[in-house]
Structure 1
Amino acid sequence: MTDVCVEMSADAGFPEKCREARLLRIEPRAAPPPPPGGEGSTSPRPAAEPKSAAGDDRAAERCAAAPPESRPLSSASSSSIGSGFGPGDLASPEKLTAAPPNAPQFGFVSLSGRSREMEDAVSLRPCFFSPDGDGSSPLHFFAVFDGHGGSHVSALCKDRMHELVAEELRQAAAERDVAGDVFAAAARRAFRRMDDLALSSCACGRVGTLFCGCDQGGFSSQIVGSTAVVAVVHRHRIFVANCGDSRAVLSRAGRAIPLSSDHKPDRADEMARIEAAGGRVIYVNGARVLGILAMSRAIGDKYLKPIVISEPEIKACERTREDEFLIIASDGIWDVLSNDLACDIVRRCLRDEGRRRRPPPDDGGGGSYCSTAATLLTRLALGRKSSDNISVIVVDLTRS
């Protein structure tokens, strides 16, 4: 050991090498090219979409002109910032900075934080459905999925949940307007179908083959699940469907209004439901279902059925002129930040943008102030020692 220490101290280039390594960790890096398998790839982490200004313009034009059913599922640009993680650095954040016409401005950050594995997923689908069919009154889909036990269920939710909700809305919306009861019925069916897909999928990513013969099959696929908080924004209403302990919060006239309620095992009504289903709430590092799962509802988790259910709680609220913004985030934010504090931070960002009296630029940076607000929330959560993955979406409701 003495020889090793002497050799290290004698290396004149050692401090320079440390600085070089540090610079490499914090420098932004380009996102790697997608795997040759395309959508059929089974990589545990979805690759970031490449940024193309020309492609963004063409996608935005298509979103405004084409019927919602034929629009691309993701027409906004995205960028990825370096994967290195050091003290005070953000680990692999993804920031969405553009929105198509007719959509509210929005931005997000999603990163692994201090956790070794990234199990969160974020889905942003502006103009994903239009009840009238002509695109004049589109619905916009924003969702956060917080996985546990693995990432394949949250990744599956990211890829399929908006499609299932759109299909159910298309079948349920006989009228030209989507009312609260119509959305509630459609969301419940969509969550049920999503749960069935999760229960029949393998941890390697294959759907419909729970025992596909791979190394990750069998019990490894049955212990994976995900929360789901889905917000659908209409020009007159906001719909939220929640399953798990992720959360959506609306800021209206300077007040924080929660649009979802966390499904924790020690919540009185949830504890009664768990016990009625034959389960128990055991306190092991907090309240847990059978001492295992720290939430009482989730998509997937086959080994805890029927105690853990995928039934979402639905809330619909009418939009007003006093609505400011919407925050949708995983518990990596809410475990360390209160609703009021999170809304206060975002409100300051939006007010600073308003004082500049500059319209959002049209070169792919339309939601930059929303991304700034999401980044500030993320940094504060990291500063308060959040140990979980962190995913947060900020939607500006004042410009739509």
Structure 2
Amino acid sequence: MEPLLELDVERIDRVDSLPDTDLASASSGSSFLLSTEDSRSTTSSGDISTSSGEIPPSVVEEAVVPRLVDPVPSSDELTILTARQNKCVGRNNRAVSWGFTSVIGRRKEMEDAVAVRPGFMSRTCDHLGGCTAPGSRTSTEISPVHFFGVYDGHGGSQVAKFCAERMHEVIAEEWGRESIDGSEWQRRWEVAFSSGFKRADNEVLTESVAPEMVGSTAVVVVLSGCQIITSNCGDSRAVLCRGTETIPLTVDQKPDREDELMRIEGEGGKVINWNGARVFGVLAMSRAIGDRYLRPWIIPVPEITFMTRTDEDECLILASDGLWDVMSNEEVGELARRLLRRRRRSMNMTDKEVTPAQAVADNLTEIAYCRNSSDNISIIVVDLKSKRRRQQRQ
């Protein structure tokens, strides 16, 4: 694991000591990035919690239902009842907080877009699939499911913006369309994501969203109480910080990745080394939404991964390659864990404070810029420790 540079550690310590109102624009090195109108920067944070009522009513109108009352079991039902004593992981995962930044950086044009859609679906954990205790009382309670997406456009911003506004709707519709048996829940999500990405790609064409030479990466996470479901198309990336580990949830789809190279060349395409491996010397990724002029070599087919949540999970980080070009997974994870834990200890849980997740997003953005990232930088950080669990540990 590559350690953070001493300069980066000093920057974390310095920024973390500032009042919360100064965090978004801390240090002269990047304050203009995060505050000036011309930079087209965006920062935002918010809390999602079904237990404390912090989600707007419109988000959770279907997500709060009375607990089911079980009848008194007969002696013949005791074995089944005992099997249901375990509660699903989601019982402690009803609350998350998040923060994001999306800045133009050193580019002349802003082509990134981000999407944060809390409660984009409301389902029981049992129905959604992947519950760690199917049939338990907790698993039959309706709770919100959250959607996070980072889209890195190329050739223009049109496709990235379209995906940010539309992709979560398409995924929800495609998931609802499937009638696969509940025991095959992973297959249901795979079909929903594959069909959803293809449908979004088709809508870019049919609705004349952008010229055929414009496209975008798409890395999205659907977060339920028990599962982290990731779908990736391109070279944006998502990682999970769990305990002391930084776990990659995606693998960059690059033209020189062995399986991608074989696919491209099998279709009669060529990968040319022109400032890095590129399809026909043009595009530095092998999958994307849009890019009609490079079909069939550039495809909108995502790779999907599933990760069951645990109490050791610290945070999720989704970002465009403006971050990953200058920081490794391990460096990002180390910084996130260090700053999250420090900020959680010092928080008074007031509404006016910058959330720990937002502080991480701000700091990662500053470090990426100070390391001379030449691209737009877009980062979403999702704090997976609920307020209740943080307070219990204090």
If the length of structure 1 is used for normalisation, what is the TM-score?
0.71
The verdict on how the C-alpha distance between 1:317 and 1:278 changes in structure 2, with shifts beyond 3 A counting, is: same
Match for residue 110 of structure 2?
Answer: 118
Match for residue 159 of structure 2?
Answer: 153
Match for residue 290 of structure 1?
Answer: 280
> What is the DSSP-based 3-state SS (H/G/I as helix, E as strand, rest coil) of the residue aligned with 2:55?
helix
Match for residue 349 of structure 1?
Answer: 339
The verdict on how the C-alpha distance between 1:313 and 1:103 changes in structure 2, with shifts beyond 3 A counting, is: same
What's the CA shift for 1:371?
1.0
The verdict on how the C-alpha distance between 1:173 and 1:393 changes in structure 2, with shifts beyond 3 A counting, is: farther
- Asked if 1:301 is matched to 2:291, the reply is yes
What's the CA shift for 1:170?
1.6
The verdict on how the C-alpha distance between 1:142 and 1:116 changes in structure 2, with shifts beyond 3 A counting, is: same
Q: How does 1:31-46 map to 2 (within 5 A)?
A: none
Moved more, 183-192 or 132-141: 132-141
What's the CA shift for 1:179?
2.9
The verdict on how the C-alpha distance between 1:312 and 1:237 changes in structure 2, with shifts beyond 3 A counting, is: same
Counterpart-to-counterpart distance in 1, 2:53 and 2:384: 25
Return the letter of the residue paired with 1:222.
E
- Asked if 1:66 is matched to 2:61, the reply is yes
What runs of 5+ residues in structure 1 fail to find an aligned partner? 1-21, 33-44, 52-56, 69-100, 211-220
What's the CA shift for 1:337?
0.1
The verdict on how the C-alpha distance between 1:30 and 1:261 changes in structure 2, with shifts beyond 3 A counting, is: closer
- Asked if 1:254 is matched to 2:244, the reply is yes
The verdict on how the C-alpha distance between 1:385 and 1:256 changes in structure 2, with shifts beyond 3 A counting, is: same
Match of 1:360 among 338, 343, 349: 349
Counterpart-to-counterpart distance in 1, 2:225 and 2:41: 31
Match for residue 223 of structure 1?
Answer: 213
- Asked if 1:171 is matched to 2:177, the reply is yes
Match of 1:272 among 235, 257, 262: 262
What's the CA shift for 1:200?
2.9
Counterpart-to-counterpart distance in 2, 1:239 and 1:251: 15
What's the CA shift for 1:360?
3.0
Match for residue 5 of structure 2?
Answer: none
The verdict on how the C-alpha distance between 1:318 and 1:381 changes in structure 2, with shifts beyond 3 A counting, is: same
Residues 131 and 173, structure 1, Cα contact 8 Å, conserved in 2: no
If the length of structure 2 is used for normalisation, what is the TM-score?
0.72
Residues 64 and 135, structure 1, Cα contact 8 Å, conserved in 2: no
Give the count of matched residue pairs: 308
> What is the DSSP-based 3-state SS (H/G/I as helix, E as strand, rest coil) of the residue aligned with 1:272?
helix
What's the CA shift for 1:283?
0.5
The verdict on how the C-alpha distance between 1:65 and 1:249 changes in structure 2, with shifts beyond 3 A counting, is: closer
> What is the DSSP-based 3-state SS (H/G/I as helix, E as strand, rest coil) of the residue aligned with 2:357?
helix
Q: How does 1:1-400 map to 2 (within 5 A)?
A: 26=32, 60-63=55-58, 65-67=60-62, 102-132=94-124, 136-172=142-178, 179-202=185-208, 205=209, 221-356=211-346, 358=347, 360-363=349-352, 365=353, 368-399=355-386
Counterpart-to-counterpart distance in 2, 1:329 and 1:273: 26
What's the CA shift for 1:61?
3.5
The verdict on how the C-alpha distance between 1:312 and 1:189 changes in structure 2, with shifts beyond 3 A counting, is: same
Residues 239 and 315, structure 1, Cα contact 8 Å, conserved in 2: yes
What's the CA shift for 1:278?
1.1
Residues 194 and 302, structure 2, Cα contact 8 Å, conserved in 1: yes
The verdict on how the C-alpha distance between 1:47 and 1:369 changes in structure 2, with shifts beyond 3 A counting, is: closer
The verdict on how the C-alpha distance between 1:240 and 1:394 changes in structure 2, with shifts beyond 3 A counting, is: same
What's the CA shift for 1:26?
4.8
The verdict on how the C-alpha distance between 1:199 and 1:360 changes in structure 2, with shifts beyond 3 A counting, is: farther
The verdict on how the C-alpha distance between 1:232 and 1:359 changes in structure 2, with shifts beyond 3 A counting, is: farther
Counterpart-to-counterpart distance in 1, 2:370 and 2:314: 26
What's the CA shift for 1:177?
9.0
What's the CA shift for 1:64?
5.5
Counterpart-to-counterpart distance in 1, 2:299 and 2:60: 40
Counterpart-to-counterpart distance in 2, 1:396 and 1:252: 11
Counterpart-to-counterpart distance in 1, 2:348 and 2:180: 38
Match for residue 89 of structure 2?
Answer: none
> What is the DSSP-based 3-state SS (H/G/I as helix, E as strand, rest coil) of the residue aligned with 1:130?
strand
Residues 104 and 395, structure 1, Cα contact 8 Å, conserved in 2: yes
Structure holding more helix per residue: 2
Q: CA RMSD in A?
A: 3.0
Residues 33 and 41, structure 2, Cα contact 8 Å, conserved in 1: no
Structure number with greater CO (CA < 8 Å, separation at least 6) is: 2
Return the letter of the residue paired with 1:148.
H
Residues 107 and 394, structure 1, Cα contact 8 Å, conserved in 2: yes
What's the CA shift for 1:185?
1.1
